[in-house]
Chains A and B, each alone.
Chain A
Amino acid sequence: MVETPPKVEIEKTRKRGFSAIALVWIIPVLALFVAFGVAWQSYNARGPVIVVTFTDGSGIAAGETKLKYRDIEVGEVEEVGFSEGLGEVEVHIRLKKDIAEYVDESSVFWIIQPEVTAQGISGLSTVLSGVYIEGSWDNEIGTASTRFKGSDVAPLIKPGDSGLQIAFRTTTNGSLTDNAPIMFRGIQVGQVGRAQIARSGAFAITEGLIYEEHRHLVNSSTRFWETSGFTVSIGPTGADIDFSSLATLVGGGITFDTFVSGGDDARDGEVFEVFEDKETARNSLFTTSEVDPLKLSIIFDENVSGLTVDAPVELSGFRIGSVESLSGIVDFNQFGDSRVRLNVIISIQPARLGLPGDVSAAAALTLIQDRVVNGLRARLASASLLTGGLKVELVEVEDAPLARLTQTGLDLPIMPTTKSETSDAAATVEGVFTRINNLPIEELLNSAINVMNSAETLMSNGDLQKVPGDVSTLLSDISNIVTSEDVKNIPVALNATLTRVEGLVAELERQRIAEVLGKTLTSASEAADAVTSSVAGVPELVAEIQTVAAKAATLEFDVLIKELTSLTSSAEALVSSPETAQLPVALAGALDQLNATLKELREGGAVQNVNQTLASARTAADSIAVSARDLPQVITRLNGLFAQAGRTIEGFNQGDELSRSAQSALRDIQQAAKALEKLARTIERNPNSLLLGR
C-alpha cells in the first residue's frame, strides 16, 4: 500500500565555497559604511560655532532661534548661557559652513524682535515665529573671530553697506531724535542713528546714512535742519499748519537742502550740523561755526547791572561772540582786597575774526594775545540806551598800560579791561534831561498868552470889519474898465479873422501849394504861441489880485494914507493912459486888417496872387503875434499896479477917504483881468481854435 516515491533525478547543486558566508555579511558592512558615511558627511558639513554676547537674551532659545543674514537662515543657536559673572548672555551659534568664512571680526549681530516706533512697526513676523538674530557682514573674508558683541538694536550702518556715512552734530538749540528719517522733498533718503551726547556735553552727535542712490544730493555746502513738530501761522489768509509728514510730526526727522551751488562732494565721515529750522540753516552758510569757540574770562571791577548771558561781544562794532556766563569772584591774593568782582566768560567765534588759514580757537587766541599787547582791551558799553542793556566791547586803547592775556593753569585766559563807557552814556542822557528841565517854559507860555490877548483886542475892533466892503467896491470899478466894448470885441475879431484864414487855407489846399502854406502855418502857429505865452501871465495877475484881496481882508491897519492916495492916483493914471486903452483897439485893428486882406484875397481868388496873399497872411499873423506879445507887458504892469495897490491897502485906514475913482479903476481892472483870463483860458484849452476858428 505504501507508494514508494518515484525515482527522481537528482541534480547536484554547485558547491558554494565561501559565498554563503560572504554574501550575507555584505549587508551589515554596507549599513555600517552608509552610517559612517552619513555621520562623517554631517559632521563635515557642520560650520563652526561662534559666541555672541548680548545684554539680555530676549526670546532666544537654544535649538530654535535662527541666525539670519539678509533674511535667510545661516545658522542656529545651539546653546544659551551666561558669561562669567553673569554679566552678559552668551549665545552659541552654529554657522552654516558655506558662509562661515565670511563671518569675520567686522561682523555685527543684533536681535530682531517686534518693535513699535514712531517710524512704524518692525519685526512683526517675529511676534508669531519668535525672535531671531540678524547678522551682517561684508562680502570679503577678513580676520576670523569667534567672539562677537551683539547689539540690542539694528546698527544703522551695516558692514558692506554702501551709502554716504556722515555724522550729525546739533547746534546750541537743536535736538536730535534717535533713528529719525532723513527726508528730502518728502522722500526718505537716509536715516539717523542713535544720538549720543558729546563728551563735553555741548552738543549731541549721531551717525547718519544717506542711501547710495541719493548720495549725490549731499555736498559740503548742504545744510541740514530739523523738521520735527509743526508750525502754526495765523495771517490774513487764515491759519496755516505745516508739518512735513506724520512720521516726522511724531518722531522727528531732519531734512536738508543745498542753498548755494558749488561745494565738494561729501565724504564719508564728514560732520554736518543740524539746525533748528530752515532759516537758521540758510543763514549758517555765511556764519559757519564749525570750530569750537574761544572762551575768555574778563573780570570787571565796575557795576555791571544790565549785562546778561548772550549779550553781544563786539570787536569794532562787529559781533564776534557772546557772553557765556556771569559769576562773582573773590580772590584776595590776586586783587589785593576782598571785593566781589564780576567774572564774565565770553565765547568768541574764531570764524568771525576772519583769520587767515587755520580757523581754530587756538589761532584766535594767538591773534587776541597779539592784539592785547598792542592795546586791545575789554570794556563794557551800552547796548541800548532804552533798556540800559550792556555789551562787551573789545577796543584798542591808545597808551594803555602794558597788559597781557594771562592764563594760569587750566583756567580760562583773562582778558585785561579798560574803563567802561557806560558811565559816560548815562551822564549824557542825564545832561539832556537836565537841559530840558532848565528851559524857561513858563516864561515862554506867559509871553505867548500876552501876544494872543493883544491880537484878540485888535481883531475885535469894529473899524476893521468895515474894510472888506470898501475894497470890493474898488474892485468892481476896476472890472468896469475891463468889460469895456473894445476888450470884449477882441475875441469876435479874432474869430472872424480865423474864419477867413480857414477859408483861405481850404482854397490854398485846393491849389496844391502846401509848401508855402507850411510857412504860413508856422507863422500862424508862432502867433498862437505868442498869444499863449502872453496869456500865461494872466493867471499870475489873477493870483496877484487874489493875494491883494486876501491881504485886504486880513490887513492890519496902520495908517499910511498919503501913500495910498498917491498910489491910487497913479493907478488911475495907468488905467486911463492911452496906451492901455489903445491896446485892445490896436489888436482889433490888426485883426481887421487881416480880415480885410483875407477878404481881398478871397474876392480876388487869383492863383497868381497866391504868393502875395500868403505873404500878407504871414504879415497878419506876425502882427497878431506882436500885439499878443504886448499882452504880457500889460499884464506885468497890471501886476505891478496890484502889488502897489496891495501895499497901499496894507496902509489903508477907514478914517480916511479913499478916492472914488481909484475904487472904480480897481473894479474895472478886475473885470478886464477876468475877461482876459477867460480868453486866455479858452486859447489855452484849445490853441487850435485860434487857427481853425472853432
Chain B
Amino acid sequence: MELVGTPKKTVTARAAGLVACTRCARAWPLETEVCGRCGAKLISRDVNSLQRVWALWLVGLMCYVPANLYPMLRTQQLFSVDESTIIGGAVELAQHGAFGIATIILVASVVIPLGKFWAIAFLALSVREKGGYASRHRLLMYEVVEYIGRWSMIDIFVVAILSALVQLQGLASITPGPAAFFFALSVIFTMLSAQSFDPRMIWDAQADTDEASGNG
C-alpha cells in the first residue's frame, strides 16, 4: 500500500490504541497494564525513561573524568614503574611511531565513548524537540549506540588480559590502574543509559511533526 516508499504518515501503536509488550512483543489494548502472556508490565510510553537516561548518562560522564585522569595501566619493569593514562599512553605510542595502535586506542577509548555520550544526549534531547532530524536516522543512531556499547569494554578486556598474563615476578608486571575501574563504570552506566532510552519516543516526535505538518 502506501506504506511502501517514503512514508508520509506513520501510524504508531499508540495512535492505533494498542500497546506492545516490550518483552514478548504481544500487542495489547492500550488500557492493558500487564502482559497477559508473559506478565511484564505494559506501558505505552515510559515517561520516566528520559530521567533514567539522563541520570545514568550523568554517572557515566562523571566516571569518564577520572578514567582519563588516572593511570590506566601500571607497568613495572625490573626497576622502573611506568604509569600511563589512556591519552598519555596513546600519545606515547604515537611518539614511538605506532600510529595504528595509537589510533585504535584513541578511537576505542576516547572517540567512541565521547560519541556515545553525544549520541545519547542528542537522542534524549531530540525526543523533546518536535521535528528536526529524521526519525529513521535517529533510530539507526540508537541501534548503533546500543550495539557498540558492549564493545566499549574492549579496553577493559585488554587491561584484564595483560594483568593476568604479564605477572613475571620482579621482572615485569602489569596491574590495572584506577582508571580501568572508572572506565568500566563509565561504559556500564553509558550502556544502562542507552538501554533506558525508550526508542518509541522517537516516533512520537515524528507523529507530532506529522500532525503539525498535517495540520499546517
Instruction: Judge: A and B partners, yes or no.
Output: yes
In the bound complex, how far is the Cα of B41 from the Cα of A592, in angstroms? 177
In the bound complex, how far is the Cα of B31 from the Cα of A28, in angstroms? 33
Known: A10-B31, A27-B56. A21 touches B79 (CB 8 A): no
* Residues B34 and A31 in contact, CB atoms below 8 Å apart: no
Counting chain A residues whose Cβ lies within 8 A of the other chain, the interface size class is 10 to 19
- Is residue A506 within 8 Å, beta carbon to beta carbon, of the partner chain? no
* Residues B55 and A28 in contact, CB atoms below 8 Å apart: yes
In the complex, per-residue mask of A1-41: 1 if CB is within 8 Å of any chain B CB, else 0: 00001101011110000001100110110011001000000
- Complex interface: chain B residues within 8 A of A577 (CB): none
- Is residue B163 within 8 Å, beta carbon to beta carbon, of the partner chain? no
- Is residue B210 within 8 Å, beta carbon to beta carbon, of the partner chain? no
Determine which of A8, A20, A128, A129 lies in contact with B48 in the assembled complex, contact meaning CB atoms within 8 Å: A20
Number of A-B contacts (CB under 8 A): 45
Report the interface size for chain B: residues with CB under 8 A from the other chain.
Answer: 19
Known: A13-B41, A20-B48, A35-B62. A27 touches B55 (CB 8 A): yes
In the complex, per-residue mask of B48-76: 1 if CB is within 8 Å of any chain A CB, else 0: 10011001101100110010000000000
- Is residue B88 within 8 Å, beta carbon to beta carbon, of the partner chain? no
In the complex, per-residue mask of B73-96: 1 if CB is within 8 Å of any chain A CB, else 0: 000001100000000000000000
In the bound complex, how far is the Cα of B193 from the Cα of A24, in angstroms? 11
Known: A24-B48, A128-B79. A10 touches B32 (CB 8 A): yes
- Is residue B33 within 8 Å, beta carbon to beta carbon, of the partner chain? yes
* Residues B33 and A13 in contact, CB atoms below 8 Å apart: yes
In the bound complex, how far is the Cα of B182 from the Cα of A35, in angstroms? 11
* Residues B79 and A5 in contact, CB atoms below 8 Å apart: no
- Complex interface: chain A residues within 8 A of B56 (CB): 24, 27-28
- Is residue B100 within 8 Å, beta carbon to beta carbon, of the partner chain? no
Q: Which A residue sits closest to B27, measured CB to CB?
A: A5
Task: Mark out the residues of chain A between 328 and 346 whose CB falls within 8 Å of any chain B CB in the assembled complex.
Answer: none
- Complex interface: chain A residues within 8 A of B41 (CB): 13
* Residues B36 and A8 in contact, CB atoms below 8 Å apart: yes
* Residues A28 and B51 in contact, CB atoms below 8 Å apart: no
- Complex interface: chain A residues within 8 A of B52 (CB): 24
* Residues B59 and A129 in contact, CB atoms below 8 Å apart: no
* Residues B48 and A21 in contact, CB atoms below 8 Å apart: yes
* Residues B59 and A28 in contact, CB atoms below 8 Å apart: yes
Counting chain B CB atoms within 10 Å of each CB, the highest count among A8, A28, A129 belongs to A28
Q: Which B residue sits closest to A128, measured CB to CB?
A: B79
In the bound complex, how far is the Cα of B29 from the Cα of A5, in angstroms? 11
Q: Which B residue sits closest to A20, measured CB to CB?
A: B48
* Residues A25 and B51 in contact, CB atoms below 8 Å apart: yes
In the bound complex, how far is the Cα of B58 from the Cα of A10, in angstroms? 37
Known: A11-B33, A12-B33. A20 touches B62 (CB 8 A): no
* Residues B51 and A31 in contact, CB atoms below 8 Å apart: no
- Complex interface: chain B residues within 8 A of A31 (CB): 58-59, 62-63
- Complex interface: chain B residues within 8 A of A8 (CB): 32, 36
In the complex, per-residue mask of B21-57: 1 if CB is within 8 Å of any chain A CB, else 0: 0000000000111101000010000001001100110
* Residues B62 and A13 in contact, CB atoms below 8 Å apart: no
Task: Mark out the residues of chain A between 135 and 149 whose CB falls within 8 Å of any chain B CB in the assembled complex.
Answer: none
Known: A25-B51, A129-B79. A5 touches B33 (CB 8 A): no
- Complex interface: chain A residues within 8 A of B62 (CB): 28, 31-32, 35
Task: Mark out the residues of chain B between 80 and 118 whose CB falls within 8 Å of any chain A CB in the assembled complex.
Answer: none
Interface, chain A (partner B; CB < 8 A): 5-6, 8, 10-13, 20-21, 24-25, 27-28, 31-32, 35, 128-129
Given contacts A25-B51, A27-B189, A35-B62, 9 further A-B contacts (CB under 8 A): A11-B33, A20-B48, A24-B55, A28-B55, A28-B56, A28-B58, A31-B62, A31-B63, A128-B78
